[in-house]
Structure 1
Amino acid sequence: DDRPYTGLSLTHANAQLVTLGNVLKMGLRGVISRKFSKSRLWDICRHYGCTMFNLLGGMTTAIYSEPRKADDADNPVRYILSAGMPAAIWEDFKRRFDVELFEFYGAAEGGMTFNPPGGPIGSIGKPPASLIAKVIDEDGRECAPNERGEIVFEAAPGQPTLAVSYFKNPEASAKKVQNGVFFTGDIGHRDEDGWFYFDSRKGDEIRRNGEFIDTAKIEKTIAEYPDVADVFVYGIPATSGVPGEKDVIAAVVPVDVCLFSPQKLLDHCRAVLGRTELPSYIQVMSEIPKTASEKPQARFCYQLFQEQKNHVYDFAS
């Protein structure tokens, strides 16, 4: 009886496999939009009776930023297959839309973890029986529980050795899998019970005043501000020049740019966030640049940050 939905591009593995692949394999009726629309998402699901869809990390905050409606929970969706649901909005998202969350993690090249409904909030889950997952430090040693490192995978005993072959790029292929170990390039940790957690893409971590910043918490705070339609938080090298430190930029799309006040938004953040978490800059945008899979693109945001200084409000001091 399930009816999957996707608004993701069919150039992306999630739309190809999670939605279209399952529809064809299981003989289901599926619904595919030409383009993802955060404002029409729930109306589409209601109209076509869609019971599940796949949601990627960059989309969750955008949906959460939409103005709350009395009928948010009045929808036919049973669960969302989510890749990157921020822990900061996990429970609120479930309650608001009355859905279950099935979190998963993986790359097109390999590696996979699953956290079915009922698992720890914020966790990307545990690997299937065919894989072994670890978190290792820069010297290749396995990290202790709750210690950050790179997430890697290898085949379980009796399974084919992992391998990756990039098109006409043997150097990248050899770097991605070394001695049967698949390097994801993602930083994470695991808890004492073996549940894994994604922390950041390698190199994308934001450290400020010696602490790692939870960008999802900042995005949740800004997304709940009624004058904001979308938000993306990223980091740039700190103006202080301290090695490894970054300044925090909040790229926001106002509901109405003429009525939007960056100072009032910052005051809202001050009431909720700690001093280290406050944005150094608020960057006003008409639209946040995103990939075909709705992932915000920090490099294009930063390019516009440098080129359009009249759209940037400096609160660093």
Structure 2
Amino acid sequence: MNITQHIERGCHLFPDKPALIFEGTTFTYAELDRLANRVANGLRELGVHRSDRIALFLPNIPEFIISYLGILKLGAIAVSLNAMLKSSEVKFILDDCGAKAVVTTADLVKNIPQQDLPQLKHVLIAEGTATEGTSLAELMANASPSARGIEMDRYAPAAIVYTSGTTGFPKGATLSHGNLISNSYSQQHCCGMQAEDRILLYLPLFHCFGQNAVLNAGLNACATLVLHRNFDLTKILKSVTDEQITMFFGVPSVFLVLLNMDLPKDQLKSVRFFFSGAAPLPTEVAQKWYDKYGLVVHQGYGLTETSPCASYNHDYIYKPGSVGTAIENVEMKIVNNGKEVEPGEIGEIAIRGPNVMLGYWNRPFETAEAIKNGWFYSGDIGRMDEDGFFYIVDRSKDMINVAGFKVYPTEVENVIYEHPAVAEVAVYGVPDLEKSEIVKANIILKPDCNVTEKQMIAFCAERMAAYKMPKTIKFVDSIPKNPTGKVLKRVLRDEAANEAALKKGNAAVGAIAKPIPLVATTSVPSNDTSGGGVLKSLGNIFKRRN
């Protein structure tokens, strides 16, 4: 097997059918397959072999998809990097996976410290003028357009998607060809994807949601993918109409923005299916959407480690607030202290099936901690009702969910500790209507040191991706800890919630007899440096195409 058999099947069955549309350019299934073949053959000429890691440090452009398919046809492993990462973050991942080559752009190549990566042999520039490295277009022009995906074992690694680790260092979730193929078929079946569908794809391709749940599933269905470089609301709405989009995948903040715009009911009339993932969709948002458009926003649950789909709130019985039941061939259960609990009881969500990753790349200890007897322990807290429907209650490990992107406090704390004025820091998440959560930091400064919030945020901006940066910083004299010295993040979250409630109450008192605005902001301000996870990355991180 090979996951790229989906593009080869599309080429055979629908050679002239549009597979990909991007900024006015259409690629048929035959054209997309030939371009992927050129990448595979070009990489082979560079000395890339089966199991070599090839990194994709790219925004949402066709070259991401073409390179991804070419890498996998060759039997190499595609390693996706968030296009917002800074130099030190890029170095860690490329060094950790031992990348032999990286495909990037002229704008992003400056964030690749080539001199510190002796194993990195080739830098391929996919967009912009290649002042350093090799032009991907030239490599492809000199390569044959004929190739077939080589046969791989179902357990052979296909992709590595990095997710933050509890130690503050990213971990590479290693997904096999079997993982990707199984999950593609399951997603296609659950969502009812058909060859006639036209699927909007603005979610970042470096994210497991966009890469597997939309891209691979869409190609598996021989559907047409309408790719957007970013989340530009005006262009997205125009695309829905002009391209007659039938399937719309998004994150909760996108649906909230669309609701707040008070669009005409017929604005989205071509769309037959809506799906929200990457973060919990508030029940009130789901209800308002149904009340307005008469269609549910389908939801599911999954993680990068589960390829990503694990459950789906399906058509037969749709339960508001639930993430549904386990998808086909997958089992889910709620456990407490290693034992399965009764329906209604709260515990950790565990998952077993063909969607569960092989493990974390070069992390045997973390893999053994996460996967036990075939069951992946998610670290997410939930419950299951009598009908087998699952509900997310909370998350453990103090992970912060910034619009679908995982941010672990330790990773941010490690950066802030690099500042010479910082004595102690605690990073935690606080609720946010638009982004699910935002990052907040409590900092104790060293004696006689004086740093402003603005200066500290600027310090962070130079060293980490925007979505990881603290939105607010609070300078404090002490940080709550338990008797063993462990920081009580729960107490910090509660304090932040109380402060927010107090501010809200004061604002309500001051607003008596004043009209209450019913429509919230519909776009992210251009000067907002807070990051914003999936949504922010869609709108602000990618440069215009040269």
Is TM more than 0.5 here?
yes
Partner in structure 2 of residue 86 of structure 1: 282
Quote the Cα distance in structure 1 between the aligned partners of 2:355 and 2:268: 47
In structure 1, what is the equivalent of residue 332 of structure 2?
A: 133
* C-alpha distance in structure 2 between counterparts of 1:98 and 1:37, whole Å: 25
Q: Which stretches in structure 2 are left out of the alignment for 5+ residues?
A: 1-195, 401-429, 443-475, 482-487, 513-524, 538-546
- How far apart are the structure 2 equivalents of 1:49 and 1:36? 18
The 1-side partners of 2:283 and 2:398 are apart by 18
Question: How far 1:100 moved relative to its partner?
Answer: 3.1
The answer to whether the aligner puts 1:181 opposite 2:375 as a matched pair is: yes
Q: Deviations over 1:235-263 (max 9, x none)?
A: 8689995953323469x9xxxxxxxxx87
Question: Among 201, 205, 225, which residue is 1:6 paired with?
Answer: 201
Unpaired segments of 5 or more residues in structure 1? 207-214, 220-229, 253-261, 272-283, 297-317
Note the 1:237-248 alignment, pairs <5 A: 244-245=490-491, 246-248=494-496
Q: Which amino acid aligns with 1:88?
A: E
| Cα deviation 1:202-244 (Å, max 9, x = unaligned) | 14499xxxxxxxx98x83xxxxxxxxxx465558689995953
Query: Cα distance 1:204–1:63, how it changes in 2: closer, same or farther (>3 A)?
Result: farther
Amino acid at match of 2:345: E
Of 33, 53, 57 in structure 1, the residue corresponding to residue 228 of structure 2 is: 33
| 1:196 lines up with 2:390 in the alignment | yes
Aligned equivalents of 1:46, 1:8: Cα separation in 2: 19
- Report the Cα distance in structure 1 between the residues aligned to 2:341 and 2:274, rounded to whole angstroms: 31
Task: Summarize the alignment of residues 1-317 of structure 1 with structure 2, pairs less than 5 Å apart.
Answer: 1-38=196-233, 40-64=235-259, 66-71=260-265, 74-83=268-277, 84-110=280-306, 112-117=310-315, 118-137=317-336, 139-155=337-353, 164-204=358-398, 219=433, 230=434, 232-233=436-437, 244-245=490-491, 246-248=494-496, 266-267=507-508, 286=528, 288-291=530-533, 293-294=534-535
CA distance in 2, matches of 1:57, 1:295: 13
CA contact (8 A) 1:176 1:183 kept: yes
Percent of matched pairs sharing the same residue: 22
Q: Output the CA distance in 1 between the equivalents of 2:373 and 2:531.
A: 37
Residues 234 and 50 (structure 1 numbering): CA distance in 2 closer, same or farther, change over 3 Å? Answer: same
Question: Counterpart in 2 of 1:257?
Answer: none
Letter paired with 2:334? V
Number of residue pairs the alignment of both structures matches: 248
CA contact (8 A) 2:330 2:355 kept: no
Are 1:186 and 1:202, in contact at CA under 8 Å, matched by a contact in 2? yes
1:294 aligns to what SS in structure 2? helix
AA matched with 2:212: L
- Once residues 11 and 147 of structure 1 are traced to their aligned partners in structure 2, the CA distance between those partners, rounded to angstroms, is 36
Distance 1:269 1:77, change over 3 A: farther
CA distance 1:25–1:86, shift in 2 (3 Å): same
Report the TM-score, using the length of structure 2 for normalisation.
0.39
Task: Tell me the secondary structure at the aligned position of residue 535 of structure 2.
Answer: coil
> Aligned partners of 1:5, 1:107: CA distance in 2, in Å?
21
Confirm or deny: 8 A CA contact 2:305 2:356 kept in the other structure: no
Match of 2:447 in 1: none
Paired with 1:167 and 1:145, the residues of 2 have a C-alpha distance of 35
The question of whether the paired residues in 2 share the 8 Å contact of 1:81 and 1:103 is answered with yes
Query: 1:121: how far off?
Result: 0.4
Task: From the two aligned structures, give the one with the greater helix fraction.
Answer: 2
CA distance in 1, matches of 2:248, 2:232: 13
In 1, the alpha carbon distance for the partners of 2:330 and 2:218 equals 26
Instruction: Report Cα offsets for 1:282-314 as digits up to 9, x if no partner.
Output: xx98354123x3389xxxxxxxxxxxxxxxxxx
Describe the shift of the 1:185–1:113 C-alpha distance in structure 2 as closer, same or farther (beyond 3 A).
same
* More moved, 187-196 vs 9-18: 9-18
SS in 2 for 1:42: helix
Specify the code of the residue in structure 1 equivalent to 2:495.
D
Deviates more, 1:88-97 or 1:70-79: 70-79
Equivalent-residue separation in structure 1 for 2:509 and 2:205 (angstroms): 39
Task: Summarize deviations over 1:174-218 as a string: whole Å, max 9, x none.
Answer: 111012221111111111221101123214499xxxxxxxx98x8
Aligned-residue offset at 1:68: 1.5
Q: Distance in 1 between matches of 2:231 and 2:439?
A: 26
How much has 1:168 moved relative to structure 2? Answer: 1.4
Contact 1:115-1:126 at 8 Å conserved across structures: yes
Aligned equivalents of 1:240 and 1:89: distance in 2?
35
> How big is the shift at 1:102?
2.3
CA offsets per residue over residues 100-131 of structure 1, 9 Å max, x none?
32211112322611111341101111113422
Report the CA distance between 1:161 and its aligned residue. 10
Q: Is the 8 A contact 1:235 1:249 kept in 2?
A: no
SS in 2 for 1:183: strand
Change (3 A) 1:94 1:150: same
- Three-state SS of the structure 2 residue aligned to 1:96 is helix
The one-letter amino acid paired with 1:182 is F
How far apart are the structure 1 equivalents of 2:205 and 2:226?
13
CA distance in 2, matches of 1:108, 1:114: 16
Please give the alpha-carbon distance, in whole angstroms, between the structure 2 residues aligned to 1:287 and 1:249: 22
1:30 is paired with a residue of what secondary structure?
strand
Residue type matched to 1:289 in 2? G
